[in-house]
Structure 1
């Protein structure tokens, strides 16, 4: 029996295929081209091809057949090795198995390289293969952006676990138990996994005063001291059942230069302004512009977007950015980060980031990251 969350998603996508005149769609996730939509649609974590017909029937062809049989949700499950690990052969077999009529349009992933597309065309001459940048793949991304009830319930648990990590890390740092960037990153990994996390949602970014001037410090963490004199940034997320949180704490010493105090105050106020501006039907661009204008009036510039969606990927739609389409709106079910930040080559950097759920009536802050004054 199909799990309800996957059957609902597959049914919604099948309806969209029919509306678009498509006979089937292929979603692929392998080392040379990752796509978390595979896991979203059928539960298989990675390394597989998922084919869905407009009739709602599906096939999962996986590199690890044992894993697919345990975690995957599809009408038919087969081993990728049965087709010589050749996606063209696998797709052809799936279309036949799903009884997709000859001449039907079949959507390939928009990321398909041109040489591979030509191979597909040569191998599947009975079908009209389409590969569109703004095709049905965009519809899947939009589905993923609007979290369903199962995902929202999961995110409440993820946020609770992330808040526990936030509290733990603040306590350990303030007690002098974690001194270096590496200490902090490894502590978070250990404690997150103790909670049942699959791992970190992305590589933890811990940048002490000497390295916090960068938006994303490189390397992401070193053996440098953290939370020493000045400004330190800690950006992390924990992944549970495929979904990640994304928060940023800043740690500031009690003896700051005037410019650093100004930066901290501006970032805290920008975060408040942005969260209060969020809600259903609010243009993404307007929220981003509020913060950019706020910083500009104070003589500062934020060198990155205000926030982004999170989910099975650390960066998903929608994006709160000055580049956002003026018609793009926040919608109920969106979970976005709000992460204003300021950076200076001499003074260092400060950022504050939390995860925010857009509801029917407004916005709910799920995580409770903060700027810690040492």
Structure 2
């Protein structure tokens, strides 16, 4: 059985819709042609709706690359060498963001939450009051733990205690599945990627910038990156959204077209209804796991993400054999990557069409495969 025959339920890349697959397979276009300008303009305009931005001076960012590029964009544009940056860590990817910031010369302080929990707001308050931070970063959903952080509360705390601090959100595993009120909450940069809940093949770094984040990037006296420079990208993106040809680096033509189609699908029927449906699917899946005797990594329901589940192997279960058995039953899930939980847990993505199109039967198939894999090792609740 090849991977093409399997249901892909890792936390990204995810299965994409047929319409998105078709959009990804169009013939190449000139990146300055009217056809592509229209495609890119549509995608950038719809990004505003996805992020719920009401400030026309905010700007969507779509650049060929991965979600990791968003870290470099943050570090090379919004953080100056020697700046203090506060990182709220809920897992592997939060820590990796901190590592990226250090590469660019930031002085990084990290507040690490207990495994399976988010950082307490009281800790954020204490840190922000202790020194001046140019930027605070929070990973909305850390894919290593499936913990969701309350970015609204973090942003409100920063606004109250340190209003000059830029608020940067790693939304790689949250954009498209968790609610984000960019303008209302006063966020400055949300970075994401195409291959998770946005529902597009991998290849795009997708994000959204506030007016004040743009100002800081444009005022940066010395550039520390070429490809990640917003001083180079912003004129390009602004022109495309205005329907004008522009060039800095060749965009990923087909993937931008797939993004255009996926954003139409996401917005159809309303964002809030979509988020609620995904939450219900997530809650049912977690209940199904609990019924099988499997506990999850997040320590309480309010910090459990809607787009994926991180779950412990029951006692006595060989994790590698379990994941291999699930694979043999036609479902691909992921192992765990948190340094404190190596070999102790697995992760299942439930985003996009796999979660929202019940006719596909992807989530039910995952539950069956997990149940049978446990039974093969003699596990009974």
Given the two structures, how large is their TM-score scaled by the length of structure 1?
Answer: 0.24
Point out the structure with the larger strand share: 1
Given the two structures, how large is their TM-score scaled by the length of structure 2?
Answer: 0.24
Point out the structure with the larger helix share: 2
- Higher radius of gyration, 1 or 2: 1
